[in-house]
Chains A and B, each alone.
Chain A
Amino acid sequence: MKGVDEKEYLAPGHRACAGCGATIAARLALKALGENTIAVSATGCLEVITTPYPETAWEIPWIHVAFENASAVASGVEGALKAQGIEDTNIVVFGGDGGTTDIGMQSLSGAMERGQNIIYICYDNEAYMNTGIQRSSSTPFGASTTTSPAGKESFGEDKFKKNMAAIMVAHGVPYVATACISHPQDLMAKVKKASEIPGPAYIHVLQPCATGWGYSPEKTVKLGKLAVDTHMWVLYEAVNGKIEVTVKPSQKLPVEEYLKVQKRFRHLDEEHIGIIQNFVDGQSKQLGLSE
């Protein structure tokens, strides 16, 4: 891609599954941020696959402590940089959806409310993939996971995904955005913008997961594109709370196009697909993407 940093800050040779979307998210984000960056990881896929001691895939300084506290660790790193008078270094946090929307919610809320100058990136694969595809509060309605399995009495997950971006906007975070690994320019522009706006930033990146969603690994980018084209995932940014859609798909596909290619949704009947379509239509209208 033109104008993109050719240097790799997340080295190849890590231990991700074939078709991993998390590493695409991290790779693109780091290209947008450059070498003057310190990364903090929550426990999760990205941490596990990139740092099997004594190896590391991180070409920039990196720290991991635990699952729920990445935002607090980043707050400490920020304090240390401030104390040393270092002003030109980005601090980026990578947390999965479990580490962000569930167990990491408190420390994230604290860091955002305090206005810590950190860029928090949630790489959302919509379940606890590292531990074997368990349901998180970011798991979408209808998805079958190992703890919300579809069965005779169950159609899978019965709640809609937690709206993290809205929660972050409610915190008064000056820059909040959604992104998807299928739209690299949009993702990188947002990460760059996040680094330029003083104060905290939150970017929620949807990243398809071949292992957890049940599709063939070469289709990761295509799945992301389908999520955007069906309006299942709307790409927008909120600068000081003002929401603007950044990617308008040329045509809106029915959600079924997205659902039917994934094993986790394959059990859904018309009624449940209809519920999802209604939800998506409402969300799309609310965000100003469709009439």
Chain B
Amino acid sequence: MVVKVISSAEAISEAVKLARPSVIPVYPITPQTKISEKLADYVADGELDSQYIRVESEHSAMSAAIGASGAGVRVFTATSSQGLAYMHEPVFAAAGMRLPIVMANANRALSAPINIWNDQQDSISERDSGWIQLFCETGQEAFDTVLQAYKIAENPEICVPVMVCVDGFILTHTVDPVELISQEEANEFLPPFTPVNAYLRTDDPMSLGTLADPGHYLEIRYDLEKAVNASKELIEEVGKEYGDKFGRYYGLIEEYKSEDAEIILIAMGSICGTIKDVIDEQREAGKKVGLIRIRSYRPFPKEALKEAVKDARLAVLDKDISFSVGGALFSDVRSSVNNESYGFVIGLGGRDITPDNIEEIIAKTENPTNDVEWIGLRE
């Protein structure tokens, strides 16, 4: 077993190397670039045999990823923020064409004002694209999730691209011990990709990305909806298979001391580490507080959430804002469960999220005044 003290960016790169994608089209953007740079090193040093395409934009990064995936090979790309927004159009096309692309997104705020720091507005703004979105809490999870992402995306019953989301800087640029698996173990868990539904082969010609009129479009979109829903079971299954092999289990959600909780916080990504610390303290003080971490934002784990929240009062933390309605996660939670719930917008544009902020959220959920509160606003 190898443990390396590395950033999430490097952890993702290590996982990508083990997944052996044939084509890697990338374009630089902070804070994702650490991933593309590392992959470039691997290719330059002969550690990774991939076609590394230095495209001229993120729009082209996703377009080339679609071309390569359409041609039937395993593909990886990575982006952030403006880059993800710029590739919005082909991001939708990738899912609509049912291509099993895996992309890492280093979560970063969107302009304007321009801001390179972390929030989750970028990937959340792509929530309706048809991609599976998995949000990671740690570098270890990012490493593990990339390998699982391929297994999920490439399942012939699913064929849906997967976005692996990690908080920019907070995860991408900070180091932690990450337990790696060997190439042999990776090969066994993730065999080479053989496309069965879509490819570009001269011995069996196929047209990909055709025009669908009103007589066909609705059914094709419904098929994608069915596949995204069906991926819930697969995400759990793959998480379990990975856990059985490597000892780290993942599913759609993570429940942390929420079993008997009167107040449950719901959040995604690295913020959950801070929340867990605060919960530990409050538990010691006798408060029944817990956390449900949403790992799979799309598909949204409605059923799992419903079962986990029981009749607790909910505090939903969003590092994004859907103007005039509160955070997007908050809306999703409210439409999924009937519990009394409150929304908290926090940490936009990289504003520090402190344990005090979390305590404030818990206090405000105990004595609510507003449906949606912005936390940490300066006077």
Task: Give chain A's interface secondary structure class.
Answer: mixed
> Does B151 belong to the interface (CB within 8 Å)?
no
Answer whether residue A267 sits at the interface, using C-beta atoms and an 8 A cutoff: no
Interface size class on chain A is 35 or more
Among A65, A76, A107, chain B packs the most CB atoms within 10 A around the CB of A76
* Known interface pairs A38-B200, A79-B22, A80-B73; A73-B205 also in contact (CB < 8 Å): no
A72 and B216 CA atoms in complex are apart in Å by 27
B72 touches A80 (CB 8 A): yes
Identify B202's interface contact among A37, A72, A109, CB under 8 A. Answer: A37
Type the 1/0 row for B144-158, where 1 means its CB is closer than 8 Å to any CB of A: 000000000000000
CB contact under 8 A between A38 and B202, given known A65-B63, A65-B209, A106-B57: yes
Measured CB to CB, the residues of B under 8 A from A are 22-23, 25, 49-51, 53-57, 59-61, 63-73, 75, 89-90, 93, 97, 199-202, 205-213, 216, 220
Contact A76–B67 (Cβ < 8 Å): yes
The 6 closest A-B pairs by CB, nearest first: A76-B67, A110-B56, A80-B71, A76-B64, A72-B60, A83-B22
Given A79-B22, A79-B53, A73 contacting B63 (CB threshold 8 A): yes
B46 to chain A, nearest CB (A): 15
How far is the CB of A88 from the nearest CB of chain B, in Å? 9
Asked if A284 is at the interface of the complex by the 8 Å CB criterion, the answer is no
Q: Which residues of chain B have C-beta atoms less than 8 A from A60's C-beta?
A: 202, 205
A175-216 CB contacts (< 8 Å) to partner B = none
Interface contact B67-A80, CB-CB below 8 Å: yes
- Which residues from 69 to 94 on chain A have a C-beta closer than 8 Å to any C-beta of chain B? 69, 71-84, 89
- A64 contacts B53, CB within 8 Å? no
CB of A286, distance to nearest CB on chain B (Å):
30
> Quick one: given A38-B200, A110-B57, are A76 and B68 in contact (CB under 8 Å)?
yes
Considering only residues 29-78 of chain A, those with a C-beta below 8 Å from chain B are 35-38, 40, 47-48, 51-54, 56, 58-66, 68-69, 71-78
Prevailing SS type, chain B contact patch: mixed
A77-B71, A80-B69 known; 11 new pairs, CB 8 Å cut-off, are A47-B211, A58-B205, A61-B208, A63-B207, A64-B209, A73-B63, A76-B23, A76-B63, A80-B67, A83-B49, A83-B50
Contact (Cβ within 8 A) A51 B60: no
Q: Residues on A close to B: CB < 8 A? A: 35-38, 40, 47-48, 51-54, 56, 58-66, 68-69, 71-84, 89, 106-107, 109-110, 113-114
List A contacts of B70 (CB < 8 A): 63, 73, 76-77, 80
Known A56-B210, A110-B60: A66·B205 in contact at CB below 8 Å: no
The answer to whether B208 touches A53 (Cβ under 8 A) is no
Give the complex CA separation of A136 and B72 in angstroms.
35
Question: How many Å from the CB of B268 to the closest CB on chain A?
Answer: 30
Give chain A residues whose Cβ lies under 8 Å from the Cβ of B73: 79-80, 83-84
B25-A79 in contact (CB<8A): yes
Contact between B60 and A53, CB atoms less than 8 A apart: no
Nearest-CB residue, chain B, relative to A56: B207
Is there an interface contact between A107 and B208, defined as CB atoms closer than 8 Å? no
Please, how many angstroms separate the alpha-carbon atoms of A1 and B64 in the complex? Answer: 37
Q: Which residues of B contact A77 (CB under 8 A)?
A: 67-68, 70-71, 200
Do B201 and A107 touch (CB < 8 A)?
Answer: no
Q: Assess the A65–B66 pair: CB atoms within 8 A.
A: yes
Q: Which one of B22, B53, B90, B208 contacts A63 once the chains associate, using CB atoms below 8 Å? A: B208
CB–CB A73/B64 < 8 A = yes
Interfacial chain B residues near A52, Cβ < 8 Å: 210-211, 213
Q: Which of B51, B64, B69, B201 is the one whose CB lies under 8 Å from A72?
A: B64
Which of A54, A62, A74 gathers the greatest number of chain B CB atoms within 10 Å?
A: A62
Selected A-B contacts with CB under 8 Å, 17 pairs: A56-B210, A62-B200, A62-B207, A73-B64, A75-B53, A76-B23, A76-B25, A76-B71, A80-B72, A81-B71, A82-B51, A83-B68, A106-B56, A106-B57, A106-B60, A107-B60, A110-B56
Chain B contacts for A68, CB-based, 8 A = 59
Q: How far is the CA of A89 from the CA of B90 in the complex (A)?
A: 25
Q: A60-B202, A69-B60 are in contact. Are A54 and B216 (CB under 8 A)?
A: yes
A83 touches B210 (CB 8 A): no
The answer on a CB contact under 8 Å between A66 and B51 is no
Docked pose: A66 CA to B213 CA in angstroms: 16
Query: How far apart are B195's CB and chain A's nearest CB, in angstroms?
Result: 10
Pick the contact of A79 from B23, B89, B97 — CB < 8 Å?
Answer: B23
Residue on B nearest A9 in the bound complex, by CB: B205
